[in-house]
Amino acid sequence: MPAPLVSVGLISAAVLGYQLLLMRLFSIVYWHHFAYMMISLALLGYGVSGTVVALWRERMSRHFPVAFVINAALFGLAAVAAFQVAQRVPFNALEILWDARQPLFLLLLYALLFVPFFFAGNCICLSFVCCKAATHRLYGADLLGAAGGCLLVMALLFLLPPLSALRVIAALGLLAAAAGAWQLRLGPRLAAVLLALALVLPFALPAPVGTPVPNEYKSLSRTLHIGGARVLEERSSPLGLLTVVESPRVPFRHAPGLSLNAQGEPPAQLGVFTDGEGFAALTRFDGDFGKLAYLDMMTSALPYHLLEAPHVLVLGAGSGADVLQALSHEARRVEAVELNAQMVDLVRNRHAGFAGDVYRRPDVQVHVAEARGFVAASQERYDLIQVALLDAFGASSAGLYGLSESYLYTVEALQGYLRHLRPGGLLSITRWVSLPPRDALKLFGTAVVALEREGVAQPGNRLALVRGWQTVTLLVRNGEFGAEDVARIRAFSDARSFDTEWAPGIAAWETNRFNRLDQPWFHEGATALLGEDRAQFIERYKFNIAPATDDRPYFFNFFRWRTLPEILALKGRGGLPLLELGYPVLVATLGQALLASTLLILLPLRLGRTQPPAVPRIRVFAYFAALGFGFMFIEIAFIQKFSLLLPHPLYAVAVVLCAFLLFAGLGSRYSERLQGGVWRPVLAILLLAASYLLLLPWLLRSAVALPDALKIPLAVALIAPLAFCMGMPFPRGLAALASHSPSTVPWAYGINACTSVIGAVLATLLAIHLGFSGVIVLAAALYGLAAMAFPNHGAGGVSTIAGSGKSDNRSDRNGSGQA
Amino acid sequence: MTYFAGFILLAGAMLLGVPGTTFADAADSYAVPRARLVREIAAMAAQDQAETGKSISPRVMEALARVPRHKFVPVEHEQRAYENRPLPIGYGQTISQPYVVALMTDLLQVKAGDRVLEIGTGSGYQAAMLAELTDAVFTIEIIEPLARRAEATLKNQGYGKVQVKAADGYYGWPEHAPFDAIVVTAAASHVPPPLIQQLKPGGRMVIPLGSAFMTQQLMLVEKDGRGRVLTREILPVVFVPLTGKH
């Protein structure tokens, strides 16, 4: 039987593209963590295909060419249909803890989305079963196709709105069917018909194009109910969907946390929503700073009262509010860093007149870059580094970003900012007030640790924390605050009815006066975090406020298991907002995936009529499960690690993920020439992973100053040998099984597919607790285990799903996080 | 059956010391679940009182026992109206968790004869609660169809004296100002200065902060006799962030 290599490559490209695209689509419709959960579980469709093929192997093998082509075509059609139907399911994530029907809707969504992955899985699994001699080449085609799919969808998301990109994915599925018909010799006529269908059908379907409709509780949907509000334009990219809205009858008047002492109304504004959420105000500026006086009545204005004509760096400039604030305080020069080029374009070009050319002024320089990387590479020193408040209050308070890695608020990040301050310069970070305090105290603790690591003996003398009714601003000074500084901080706060919760020499009675809380939580927390019993305080706190680090970059995860029963008991008394949803949703995803996988893996053993295979089942299970977990752990951990090296998070997906898949694919093809077991590639993996783990901190430090054009090849060069070796164990093992125990091949495939899905979810969970370094160490152990369990005499990796979960996850998160 | 329901309600009310619940409610098919909800909330409030000394006033509990919440939710959610949970009311808006409504109403300390302004009518339920406490209730809703619907519901349920206006709530309602109490349930990034101006010295304003289905914290704005504005931020629940010490 000729192996349908081209077709398998096309299907893999379509599947990976589909995952990334679904992540994008569902991030617009729902919120990121539910999107992640749905797609992870849908990916188990791959596992189901292993089970189904294991049960009906002989019958399906007999009709392999036809079965292959039908499944490929069905994938293409189901890819569009599943999403269209899914959009009609009235699932509301916000009601999940209130409404017993919601979990059922969620189940329905899994079931719908699972269908296309199942069809695609059938194609690939059947190919492994029926083209035994081509195992390495098939797996190679699978991975190379996925690498291509990753690049393709990134390009598509820049060129087309997401729903239109979905049509291209469907076309790719039908194209794979055409290629299959041709390669499997079903006749040129069928191939031609399928090709024609691929080019016409997806684009002729009577389904909506453009962008999907966000959930009705997203702020965009709510805003559009207001009379006169309308969408001016939409911009879509892998970083997110930007929607510009005007509301002339009821102006936006966005001024978060504005002092109650403020008078007057903010000028006209346009609202810019990211994925239907994350409101940013594009404020009208006519050159009259008097109209921007309200910007002085927010906690984030504090640093300007301590500096003269500062040189300011704004991180996360968005639509320009913080830049305007800097200008209205007579900043000498403002550098603004914004991740999303489309956002910059809206302010600089599209609405330049409305925005008063704020991004074109000679004293303002805008950089499209990732904040952290920009600072690391910058040779400048600033008077003020202002970290803008970009996430929405609602999303933040509901813990929706709990699982997003954020390298903006880690200890290492703060150290980096501090090193870029002039003597006497200030780092200013504003966060929302959550009660009891979470962000603010975590941030304060992070700053204390960063200062200690920089060798500061008395961190408390360099910190100030001011709290308004909705926002809190932390200042970290390069140098100690003097008495005059403290007096100015107090005067600033008093004039605006803000509370100075920490400043050198502040007494407890001076805090918590204007906006009173039951307990002076902020001052008490700050004092405890500066004291000797910091560790004990963090331990006793009911939320996770331990500082985030680059190895555990989960600033927004405040969840603690031991607080869960108390919060649930307070459900009736309005206690649920205390629950940070991100973490429990991840655990729920894992639990469901484990349950479903166990069933899928055990089912063929119960129902199958095969005699005991030549290779012990436990060996087969250990080998393919260890590879499934190990591959995902390493891939996800290194995507995270290398993303710090690259100038823009889009590269982390496009370069790192793509390079991983590409070189693993090449490794798979090469592994055909290997003899014996998999000890050699596994030893190489262990050696490489260990050396990267040791060298990476040094490498990241020395490479930041390199030009971007060199950073990308450097990252690829580092990934290449590791991925090359990781591509070998899976096909080696599968080939060995194919010769010793062919009936076990689909089962092994299913195990690997299931553990890859679980592995992606588990990697995040483990990273929260152990850090990514811990995840890499675990992966190394798993590879060792795999080498020992090699099914008799053969060798190994993991399937396309390799590229799954986490990576798509990132592309979205970058969209929503922006910074 | 209705007699029985009335009996339960009365018994429940007596048990809780909620005076004034009348037999008029007996005609109402949701009297039993409503009484159950009131009991549930009273029990929780009692628990809070044991821990903090603060409780929900009997007048507010009485209002809670009277207002037919099921009339303020869409028909498809009527069955769930007396569960202590927020419910969707369309237009991306929700009706808050009854416990939180009770708490907010209590914080306003509305006396008979007070003038009360509400920004964000939504379903009209909060306005009805306020109308149980005073005769002068003014409410503004930004989404026109919601305003019309709430106005009709309020009228049909005997709260016709509540004045409903579809408008931008930012400027308050100067014609009826000043107000003894203001409640701002509409999402806003800041407290509109006109609303603070329209608050009487000695008046109170309550603003729930959060998102749909989630009231994170309540802000209480108090204007003292000299016109100075002080604020308090309150967690709806009794929750101490540290283990052990307290």
Q: Indicate whether A517 and A593 sit together in one domain.
A: no
Domain of A445 in residue numbering reads as 432-548
When scoring B104, B242, B245, B246 by the number of chain A Cβ atoms within 10 A, the one with the most, hence best to mutate, is B242
According to the model, what pLDDT value does residue B52 have? 75
Token digits of residue A482: 């003097």
B146, B213, B232, B234, best to mutate vs chain A, most A CBs in 10 Å: B213
Chain B residues with beta carbon closer than 8 angstroms to that of A570: 237-239
> Measured between beta carbons, which residues in chain A are less than 8 angstroms from residue B88?
92, 95
Per the structure block, which two tokens stand in for A398? Answer: 């509901």
Residue A608 has what pLDDT? 64
Say whether both A146 and A258 belong to one domain: no
- Domain B84-246 coded CATH 3.40.50.150: yes
CA A663, A665, A671 angle in degrees (round to 5)? 100
**Cβ neighbours of residue A163 under 8 Å, at least 6 residues apart?**
A25, A207, A208, A209, A210, A211, A212
Chain A environment of B143 (Cβ under 8 Å)? 225-227
Of A398, A497, A542, the CB nearest to B211: A398
Q: By the CB < 8 Å criterion, does A255 face chain B?
A: yes
B60 min Cα distance to partner chain A (Å): 16
Residue B201, min C-alpha distance to chain A (Å): 15
- Judge whether residue A794 has pLDDT over 80: no
- The interface pTM score, or ipTM, of the predicted complex is 0.85
pLDDT band at B38 (very low <50, low <70, confident <90, very high): very high
**CB distance A524 to A511 below 8 Å:** no
pLDDT score recorded for residue A801: 36
Number of CB atoms found within 10 A of residue B163's CB: 17
CA A653 to chain centre: 10
Residue-wise pLDDT tens digits, A149-199:
999 998 998 899 899 999 999 999 999 999 999 999 888 899 999 999 999
The tally of domains found in chain A comes to 3
For residue A465, the 8-state DSSP code is E
**A562 inside 8 A of chain B by CB:** yes
Q: Using a CB-CB distance cutoff of 8 angstroms, which residues of chain A are in contact with residue B93?
A: 222
Residues 661-680 on A with a CB inside 8 Å of B are none
Domain boundary residue, one of A283, A304, A324: A283
Q: Do A570 and B213 touch (CB under 8 A)?
A: no
pLDDT (mean) for A615-629: 91
CB pairs under 8 A between A and B: 167
Residue A383 lies in a domain: no
Tokens of A336: 């603004």
pLDDT at res. B11: 42
pLDDT at A685: 95
Among partner residues B97, B187, B219, which is closest to A574 by beta-carbon distance?
B97
**Is B3's pLDDT higher than 60?**
no
3-state secondary structure of A195: helix
**Cβ–Cβ < 8 Å for A69, A184:** yes
Say whether residue B178 is in contact with chain A using an 8 A CB cutoff: no
pLDDT number for residue A377: 86
Nearest to A435 among B85, B100, B235 (CB): B235
In chain B, residues 115-174 whose CB comes closer than 8 Å to chain A: 142-144, 168, 170
- A457, A518: one domain: yes
CA-closest candidate to residue B63, choices B28, B110, B119: B110
**CA of A151: how far to CAs of A334, A713, B216, B217, in Å?**
35, 16, 41, 45
Mean pLDDT of B208-233: 86
B160 closest CA partner among B126, B137, B142: B137
B144 contact residues in A (CB cutoff 8 A) = 227
Whether residue A200 is predicted with pLDDT greater than 60 in this model: the reply is yes
| Burial of residue A227 (number of CB atoms within 10 Å: 0-12, 13-18, 19+) | middle
CB contact under 8 A, B230 and A516: yes
Nearest by CB to A574, which of B99, B142, B242?
A: B99
Set of chain B residues whose Cβ sits within 8 Å of the Cβ of A433: 217, 233
How many angstroms away from the CA of A542 is the closest CA of chain B?
Answer: 5
Q: Which own/partner contact pairs does A55-63 have at CB distance under 8 Å and 24+ positions apart?
A: A55/A603, A55/A604, A55/A607, A55/A608, A57/A129, A57/A743, A57/A746, A60/A122, A60/A126, A60/A129, A61/A126, A61/A129, A61/A130
Q: What is the pLDDT of residue B39?
A: 93
| Same domain, yes or no: A203 and A255 | no
pLDDT at A4: 92
- Which position has the higher pLDDT, A411 or B209? A411
Residues of A with Cβ-Cβ distance to B199 under 8 angstroms: none
Taking CA atoms, A254 is separated from A91, A272, A284, A377, in Å, by 30, 11, 12, 33
Tell me if B168 and A249 make a contact (CB, 8 A cut-off).
yes
Nearest to B230 among A514, A519, A543 (CB): A514
Note whether B190 contacts A253, CB cutoff 8 Å: yes
Query: Domain check: are A633 and A772 in the same one?
Result: yes
For residues A100 and A152, membership in a common domain is answered with yes
Residues A256 and A136 in one domain: no
pLDDT (tens digit, 9 = 90+) per residue, A721-763?
999 999 999 999 999 988 888 888 889 999 999 999 899 889 9
Q: For residues A491 and A70, what is the distance between their CA atoms, to the nearest angstrom?
A: 74
Q: How many CB atoms lie within 10 A of CB B75?
A: 8
Whether residue B10 has pLDDT greater than 70:
no
CATH number at residue A152: 1.20.1250
The pLDDT of residue B16 = 43
Between CA B94 and CA A496 the distance in angstroms is 33
SS3 (DSSP) at B201: strand
Is B230's Cβ below 8 Å from some Cβ in A? yes
- Substitution target in A573, A576, A579, A581 with the highest count of B β-carbons within 10 Å is A573
In a domain, A458, yes or no: yes
Q: Which residues of B touch A321 (CB under 8 A)?
A: none
pLDDT band of residue A393 (cuts 50, 70, 90) is: low
- Alpha carbon distance A793, A737 (integer Å): 9
Q: How far is residue A443 CA from its own chain's centroid?
A: 21
pLDDT at A398 over 70: no
pLDDT at position A11 over 90: yes
Task: Give the span between the Cα atoms of A335 and A315, in whole angstroms.
Answer: 9
To the nearest whole angstrom, how far is the Cα of B199 from the nearest Cα of chain A?
13
Angle between helices A805-817 and A617-643 (to 10 degrees): 20
From A534-543, B21-30, B224-233, the region with the lowest mean pLDDT: B21-30
Query: Tokens 């690690």 correspond to what residue?
Result: A641
List all residues of chain A from 416 to 475 with a beta carbon under 8 Å from chain B: 433-437, 469-470
| Rg, C-alpha atoms of chain A | 27
pLDDT at residue B189 greater than cutoff 80: no
Tell which A residues from 9 to 38 touch B, by Cβ distance under 8 Å.
none
pLDDT at A277: 85
Write the CA distances from A484 to A181, A294, A299, A478, A491, integer angstroms. Answer: 80, 25, 19, 16, 10
Yes or no: say if A720 and A664 are a contact pair by the CB < 8 Å rule: no
What are the two backbone dihedrals, phi and then psi, of residue A4, each rounded to the nearest 5 degrees? -80, 65
| A757-780 residue pLDDT tens | 899 889 989 999 999 999 999 999
At residue A126, φ and ψ (nearest 5 deg) are -60, -40
Length of chain B: 246
Tens-digit pLDDT profile for residues A346-361: 999 999 999 999 999 9
Domain end marker among A231, A251, A283: A283
Select the residue of B91, B190, B233 nearest A435 (Cβ to Cβ): B233
Q: How far is B210 from chain A (nearest CA, A)?
A: 5
With bands split at pLDDT 50, 70 and 90, how would you rate the model's confidence at B186? confident
Q: What is the pLDDT of residue A799?
A: 36
Contact B211 A393 (CB under 8 A): yes
Q: Give B99's contacts in chain A (Cβ within 8 Å).
A: 572-574
Based on the fold, state whether residues A42 and A89 are members of the same structural domain: yes
Give the residue-averaged pLDDT of A628-634: 94
Distance from CA of A498 to the nearest CA of B (A): 10
Does A101 fall in a domain?
yes
pLDDT at A611: 59
pLDDT at A803: 36
What is the spatial distance between Cα A410 and Cα A553, in angstroms, rounded to a whole number? Answer: 6
Q: Do A745 and A600 have their domain in common? A: yes
pLDDT in tens, A112-127: 999 999 999 999 999 9
Task: Find chain A residues with C-beta within 8 A of B43's C-beta.
Answer: none
Residue B96 annotated among the catalytic residues of the structure: yes
Place of tokens 């991004």: A359
- What per-residue confidence (pLDDT) applies to B244? 67
Identify the pLDDT of residue A406. Answer: 84
Interface test with B, best of A98, A295, A389, A498 (most B CBs within 10 A): A98
- Chosen for mutation from B216, B220, B234, B238 (greatest number of chain A CBs closer than 10 Å) is B216
In sequence order, what are the beta bridge partners of A312?
A334, A384
Share the mean pLDDT of chain A: 88
| Token pair listed for A223 | 């805003």
Question: Out of A28-32, A312-316, A741-745, B190-194, which region has the weakest mean confidence (pLDDT)?
Answer: A28-32
The confidence band for B6, taking pLDDT boundaries of 50, 70 and 90, is very low
CB contact, 8 Å: B220 with chain A?
A: no
Q: Does B97 touch chain A (CB under 8 A)?
A: yes
Strands A515-516 vs B115-119: parallel, antiparallel or unpaired:
unpaired
CA-nearest of A491, A461, A488 to A476 is A461
State the pLDDT at residue B25.
46
Q: Are A613 and A723 in contact (CB under 8 A)?
A: no
Pair A645, A772 in one domain: yes
Asked whether the predicted pLDDT for residue A245 surpasses 70, the reply is: yes
- Model pLDDT for residues B72-112, shown as the tens digit of each residue: 999 999 999 999 999 999 998 999 999 999 999 999 999 99
Task: Calculate how close chain A gets to B169, using CA atoms only, in Å.
Answer: 9
| B86 Cβ under 8 Å from any chain A Cβ | yes
Check CB contact under 8 Å for B237 and A570.
yes
Q: Quick one: A192 and A270 in the same domain?
A: no
Chain B 50-79, residues with CB within 8 Å of chain A CB atoms: none
Smallest Cα–Cα separation from A211: which of A334, A329, A83? Answer: A83
Same domain? A109 vs A251: no
Reply yes or no on whether the pLDDT at B19 is more than 60: no
The pLDDT score that the predictor gives to residue B26 is 45
As a whole-number percent, the residues of chain B with pLDDT over 90 amount to 63
Residue A58 touches chain B, beta carbons under 8 Å: no
C-alpha to C-alpha distance for A69 and B214, rounded to whole angstroms: 49
Q: Provide the token pair at B157.
A: 């349920």
Tokens of A237: 């990219």
CB hemisphere CA count around A707 (13 angstroms): 2
Cβ atoms of A35 and A147 closer than 8 Å: no
Choosing from B96, B123, B189, B211, the catalytic residue is: B96
